[in-house]
């Protein structure tokens, strides 16, 4: 029986929203929920910001700097530590960040009231974390360096302990086990915590494990027995499923096992639960994928994180029709969506080792999933794997974002050489020069306020496209339109109506009957169609009959994040073009056919 040792709870309320829906609560909602979280009395820490928090606030049309300050202030006043999550080289976005912007991030977040910076590298390349530790401590924050946990022949206890040695040498105050997919095996995690505590007894260890594949409760007990100090938990109605275990269950488990844990004020818990449900009813529920409330053992094999299940299912639903269309043309049996999901999981299991076992966490989980999905598309059409690998995935493969944990398969190395690509072995940060001066210039030209503690400058530098949309008002308009569309589909009352350019819909089955061998041209992203660099050679819609080569750009889609090319998947002639310049399209929507 363990001695009466206290284990503290960290509430991951931010992660609950982002793992379960598309947008975080508005500022006034955060201000409403904070007093109830305080009154519950069981939390020593709350993860308040970081990750995608600021990005989705901008997409929501609100100022994330206001949200962070209003969110952290009451919690800190009550003696609860606030935490942020950041992605090392990628900061709080999906791609690498210049060093001067990374440095400013920690200064701004500390000034806004964030106590602890949890920093992780999706590849566990400690070079990407060294500056995070340095800049966090320089800003006066507690530096918590995280291990991205996964399960493979490469990711052993000894492997992780070597990483811990580097992180402690950098000056990290704490170590986190970021079990983002929940696939860390309980006994291994226990041994890892024991190894850290045996060598560095002064270092606090925090465990963060998602519940998707079902290991998390057992893992929480094992790490507690091994000496963990803090564990991350959630609360209803957004606990379990693909998120985190509920604090009530974990509290009772620890108490029965002989650990000391704080009491929960159940009146405040139920009020917070009810208020969170009201937020869901207001709008968030329209964007939550039902699968996010369900655990599945299928995740044990593929190791994909629960937090990306919503976007993955949206991708699959978009591809589902095109895949079945191809199968019909081949005289083969069509696939159910569940069957397609299973095949994708199996393909991820196949490609992951060949890609060097990158831990499946943002953004590398998305890269591996995208490769697997495109492989699946090609295989079902009777073609070979690896025909479609996007630039970001190639950056991962070639080492531009850090060193892969394991070796690449010979076929991947051969493919890179065949395409004339070069492998990078230097420090990834060196590839991204300082950029703040350029953003300062833009702020001045637009007469934009730099904000308290340069927080507005930071926001532009970190999320430039989203920040510009927020400042122009486009983001709020876009969100309102999405919310109206979602409410209409759910037969809910429409609050406001705004004009929007809609893409003319075609009769897909009629086209297939007329052109049985036609290949669809699909939007690669959600956004506005732009016929820039089109096959027609100008900015107009390419005429029917235009010759197109396999892989050639047909058009571009203007998204929240920039221009996304739409490529032909086969050679031939454009026989149908449904989209017009300026049309709004959904990701994977069919915008034409090539025969």
Give the CATH number for residue 514: 2.40.50.100
Query: Are residues 422 and 438 located together in one domain of the fold?
Result: no
Task: Of 536, 589, 42, 56, give the one whose Cα is nearest residue 283.
Answer: 56
Query: Are residues 441 and 532 located together in one domain of the fold?
Result: no
Query: Are residues 59 and 195 located together in one domain of the fold?
Result: yes
Residue 572 lies in a domain: yes
Residue 104 lies in a domain: yes
d(CA 344, CA 304): 11
Residue 559 has pLDDT above 70, yes or no: no
Query: Are residues 342 and 361 located together in one domain of the fold?
Result: yes
Q: What is the tally of structural domains in the chain?
A: 4
Residues in a beta bridge with 262: none
Give 2's pLDDT tier (boundaries 50, 70, 90).
very low
Query: Which DSSP string corresponds to 207-241?
Result: EEE--TTS-HHHHHHHHHHHT--EEEEB-TTS-ST
- Summarize the confidence of residues 465-491 as an average pLDDT: 83
Mean pLDDT for all residues in the chain: 87
CA torsion, points 307, 366, 382, 579, in degrees to nearest 10? 90
All residues at 6 or more sequence positions from 22 whose CB lies less than 8 Å from its CB, including other chains: 56, 284, 287, 288, 310
d(CA 123, CA 401): 8
Residue 307 has pLDDT above 70, yes or no: no
- Summarize the confidence of residues 40-45 as an average pLDDT: 98
pLDDT tens readout for residues 228-267 = 999 999 999 889 988 899 999 999 999 999 999 999 999 9
d(CA 95, CA 24): 21
Give 338's pLDDT tier (boundaries 50, 70, 90).
confident
Give 173's pLDDT tier (boundaries 50, 70, 90).
very high
Domain boundary among 462, 489, 516: 489
What percentage of the chain carries pLDDT values higher than 70?
90
- Summarize the confidence of residues 43-71 as an average pLDDT: 90
Q: Rank 24-33, 198-207, 377-386, 543-552 by mean pLDDT and report only the highest.
A: 198-207
Q: Domain of residue 472: give its range.
A: 431-489
Task: Of 457, 123, 95, give the one whose Cα is nearest residue 146.
Answer: 123
Return the H-helix or E-strand segment holding 84: strand 81-86
Residue 75 lies in a domain: yes
- Summarize the confidence of residues 535-546 as an average pLDDT: 63
All residues at 6 or more sequence positions from 244 whose CB lies less than 8 Å from its CB, including other chains: 12, 15, 16, 208, 209, 210, 211, 216, 232, 233, 234
Residue 64 CA: distances (Å) to CA of 52, 160, 547: 11, 34, 47
More confident residue, 383 or 318: 383
- Summarize the confidence of residues 8-27 as an average pLDDT: 70
The single residue listed with the structure tokens 């009530």 is: 248
Least confident of 31-40, 102-111, 485-494, 517-526: 485-494
pLDDT tens readout for residues 22-33 = 556 667 788 889
Give 532's pLDDT tier (boundaries 50, 70, 90).
low
Residue 498 lies in a domain: no
- Summarize the confidence of residues 99-121 as an average pLDDT: 98
pLDDT at 306: 66
pTM of the prediction?
A: 0.81
d(CA 247, CA 344): 33
d(CA 208, CA 175): 11
- 302 C-beta neighbours (distance < 10 Å), count: 23
């Amino acid at each position: 029986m363990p001695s009466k040792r206290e284990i503290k709870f960290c509430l991951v309320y931010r992660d609950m929203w982002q793992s379960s829906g598309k947008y975080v609560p508005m500022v006034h909602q955060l201000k409403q929920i904070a007093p109830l979280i305080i009154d519950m009395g069981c939390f020593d820490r709350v993860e308040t910001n970081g990750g995608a928090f600021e990005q989705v606030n901008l997409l929501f049309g609100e100022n994330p700097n206001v949200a962070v300050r209003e969110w952290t202030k009451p919690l800190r006043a009550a003696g609860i530590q606030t935490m942020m999550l950041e992605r090392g080289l990628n900061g709080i976005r999906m791609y690498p960040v210049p060093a001067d912007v990374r440095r400013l991030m920690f200064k701004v977040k500390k000034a806004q009231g964030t106590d602890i910076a949890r920093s992780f590298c999706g590849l566990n390349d400690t070079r990407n974390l060294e500056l995070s530790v340095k800049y966090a401590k320089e800003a006066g924050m507690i530096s918590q360096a995280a291990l991205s946990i996964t399960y493979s022949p490469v990711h052993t206890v000894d492997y992780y302990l070597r990483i811990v040695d580097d992180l402690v040498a950098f000056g990290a105050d704490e170590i986190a086990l970021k079990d983002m997919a929940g696939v860390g095996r309980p006994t291994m995690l226990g041994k890892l915590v024991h190894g850290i505590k045996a060598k560095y007894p002064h270092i606090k260890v925090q465990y963060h494990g998602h519940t998707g594949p079902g290991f998390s409760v057992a893992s929480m007990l094992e790490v507690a027995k091994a000496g963990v100090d803090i564990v991350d938990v959630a609360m209803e109605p957004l606990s379990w499923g693909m998120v985190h275990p509920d604090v009530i269950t974990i509290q009772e488990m620890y108490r029965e096992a002989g650990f000391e844990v704080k009491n929960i004020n159940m009146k405040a818990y139920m009020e917070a639960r009810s208020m969170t449900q009201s937020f869901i009813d207001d709008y968030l529920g329209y964007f939550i994928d039902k699968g996010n409330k369900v655990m599945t053992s299928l995740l044990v094999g593929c190791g994909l994180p629960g937090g990306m299940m919503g976007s993955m299912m949206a991708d699959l639903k978009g591809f589902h029709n095109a895949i079945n269309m191809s199968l019909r043309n081949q005289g083969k049996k069509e696939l159910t969506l569940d069957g397609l999901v299973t095949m994708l999981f199996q393909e991820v299991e196949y490609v992951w080792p060949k890609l060097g076992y990158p831990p499946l966490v943002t953004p590398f989980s998305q890269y591996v999933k995208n490769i697997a999905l495109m492989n699946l598309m090609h295989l079902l059409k009777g073609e070979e794997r690896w025909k479609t690998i996007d630039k970001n995935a190639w950056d991962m493969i070639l080492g531009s974002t850090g060193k892969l944990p394991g070796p690449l398969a010979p076929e991947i190395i051969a493919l890179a050489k065949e395409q004339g690509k070069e492998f990078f072995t230097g420090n990834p940060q060196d590839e991204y020069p300082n950029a703040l001066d350029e953003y300062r210039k833009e702020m001045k030209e637009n007469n934009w306020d730099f904000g308290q503690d340069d927080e507005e400058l930071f926001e532009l530098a970190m999320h430039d496209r989203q920040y510009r949309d927020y400042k122009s008002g486009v983001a709020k308009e876009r969100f309102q339109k999405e919310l109206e569309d979602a409410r209409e589909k759910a037969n809910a009352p429409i609050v406001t109506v705004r004009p929007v350019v809609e893409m003319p819909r075609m009769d897909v089955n009629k086209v297939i009957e007329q052109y049985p061998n036609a290949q669809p041209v699909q939007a690669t992203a959600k956004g506005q169609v732009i016929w820039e660099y089109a096959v027609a050679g100008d900015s107009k819609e390419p005429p029917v009959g235009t010759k197109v080569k396999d892989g050639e750009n047909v058009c571009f889609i203007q998204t929240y994040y920039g221009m996304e090319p739409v490529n032909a998947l086969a050679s031939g002639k454009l026989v149908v073009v449904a989209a017009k310049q300026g049309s709004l399209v959904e990701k994977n929507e069919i915008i034409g056919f090539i025969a």
